Amino acid sequence: MARLLILVVVVLLAVMPSGASNAVSLGYSDETTIVGPGPDACVGGELIHNHDGSFENGYTWQYGGVSPPYYGAFGEGYDLGYGAVYCCAYWLTSDYWFWDEPTDCYVWEGGSGTFPGAVLGMTSTVFPAIGYWPTVTQHDVDMTVVVTGPFTVGYWGNWPDQCAPFYCAADLDGPGGHPWTCIAPGMGYPSGWQDPSIVWGPTSSMGCGVYFEQGTPAESVTWGSVKALFR
């Protein structure tokens, strides 16, 4: 029995990465390579983001830092007026732990001047071929959501109590935006939506962008007309 217990401990230590924690980062690099979207690329519209075209780190939550409904999520806030989000863009990277885990992609109300609030839209996906740090890959996800004011685009990795398979790229020295992460209770930080800077240090923006088309309330009265307007 004692020999069996020792074997189990050895296996667990081999599976769990050394120094595993709930909040992890990849470490600073100023030599990242950005790879544009592949076959999942959105067509048309204006790609809007708050980063400066480069990223210096990557953040993620894992194990106890990830739990429903979306503790462990990352997002970036925008205030673009009335219009339609019809595609979300994510800049992601990994450290060789990547596997095909599902991810829930969200648009939340608020996030520019206020905390993210109600869910406006959500879809699930599995990101393909995420780059290995310091390579960051862009991944586009279709989602049509009408917004009338500030909103946050982001995602929640659906891997509660597991090692994280990938990281959200972080811009540390850009012009600045509205970065967010949703912190689970018991992590040693204020819980709920918070600036990721309180966990990982000064952060200008997160790698979450949006394909956006502006409109006016009078122009869009039904889902059909909205989709026709924003093609």
List pLDDT tens digits, range 85-128. Answer: 989 999 999 998 777 889 999 999 999 999 999 999 999 999 98
| Dihedral sign, Cα of residue 167, residue 168, residue 171, residue 172 | negative
Give the fold, CATH level 3, of 35-229.
Jelly Rolls (2.60.120)
Give the start-to-end residue ranges of the domains of the chain: 35-229
Residue 154: the pLDDT is: 98
Spatial distance between the Cα atoms of 187 and 191, rounded to a whole number of angstroms: 8
- Find the angle CA(164)-CA(165)-CA(169) to the nearest 5 degrees: 90
Give the angle 101-105-108 at the CA atoms, nearest 5°.
Answer: 150
**How much is the average pLDDT of 65-71?**
98
CA distance 116 to 51: 19
Predicted pLDDT of residue 215: 82
Least confident piece of the model among 50-64, 89-103, 191-205: 89-103
231 pLDDT tier (thresholds 50, 70, 90):
very low
**What pLDDT is attached to residue 40?**
74
Least confident of 71-75, 159-163, 220-224: 220-224
Nearest one of 104, 103, 190, 209 to 151, comparing CA atoms:
209
**pLDDT confidence of residue 11:** 30
Neighbour count for residue 231 (Cβ, 10 Å): 10
Question: What is the average pLDDT across 7-32?
Answer: 63
Contact call for residues 140 and 40 (beta carbons, < 8 A): yes
